[in-house]
Amino acid sequence: MEFKKACISLLFFILSFPLFAQQKDFEVWTGIKYKTVHSRRIATTLTLQSRLNENMMHFSIAFADFNLAYRLSKNVEVSGAYVFVRKNTLKNGFLTHHQYYGALGYEKKINGISINYDFILQNNHKDFINDAREMIPRTAGRNKVKLEYKIKKSYLPFVYSELKHQLSRFEFPELSRIRLGAGLGYRLNTTSRIEIYYLYQHFFSNQPKQRYVLGLSYKIRAF
């Protein structure tokens, strides 16, 4: 009941923002993450997500993220992944994109607060069936920080931030996107949890420039 009240309060807080101006959009993201721990060092994760944009009126993106992670030490992990993406554009309909990324992650717990930092280097391109000219990959670097605090055994509030830079061989890195978010996780049992979160995105080139996201995620961990 307490978790339900917290979710309703968060929803009213989100809807209090001016979402429908020309430079703004409201999106809804739903997803599921299934993580399998194969050994003390190796784990695989499958993440599925779908997104609605245009103030929740348009199905925009669905993707499947296949990730392989290797733990170098107690606090440091490296991973690599392939992401299959289907984008539903207003002009051209559904287009296929491919994304590959490598990540270096660091995790530390201090006085009940879990600190997670990830640096991600990614390449993505359109499928050659759509347009052979779009096969040239676009490279980006992402810096992500997440702080999570455990309340009792079940409640896990968190805050999140991310900076994304477009990378080019001929230019300095260009800041293209900022993300700021907050949410609440609820542990259902020892292997699963649900999360509701609010995310603010600011784009420096794309339209609309400001996007507000309400997200819901279900996470499962298998051994």
CATH code (residue 119): 2.40.160
What is the rounded distance in angstroms from the CA atom of residue 103 to the CA atom of residue 121?
6
* Mean of pLDDT values over 144-150: 96
Alpha-carbon distance 90 to 93, whole Å?
6
Average pLDDT estimate for 153-173: 86
Q: Looking at residue 173, what is its pLDDT?
A: 78
46 with 31: CB under 8 angstroms?
Answer: no
**Number of domains the chain contains:** 1
| pLDDT at res. 90 | 77
Give me the pLDDT at residue 21, please: 44
How much is the pLDDT for 16?
52
Q: Over the stretch 122-134, which tens digit does the pLDDT of each residue have?
A: 999 877 665 555 5
pLDDT of residue 63 exceeding 90 = yes
Q: Identify the pLDDT of residue 24.
A: 86
Contact 121, 139 (CB under 8 A): yes
- Report pLDDT digits (tens) over 101-116: 999 999 999 988 999 9
What whole-number percentage of the chain has pLDDT above 70? 84
Range of the domain at 183: 2-222
Q: What is the pTM of this model?
A: 0.84
What is the chain's length? 223
As beta bridge partners, residue 223 has none
pLDDT tens string 8-59: 555 555 555 444 444 789 999 999 999 999 999 999 999 999 999 989 899 9
d(CA 208, CA 221): 36
pLDDT of residue 20: 44
Nearest CA-CA partner of 87 in 77, 97, 79: 97
Q: What is the mean pLDDT of residues 197-214?
A: 89
pLDDT in tens, 72-99: 999 999 999 999 999 998 777 888 999 9
- Percent of the chain residues past pLDDT 90, beyond the cut: 65
pLDDT in the model for residue 6: 57
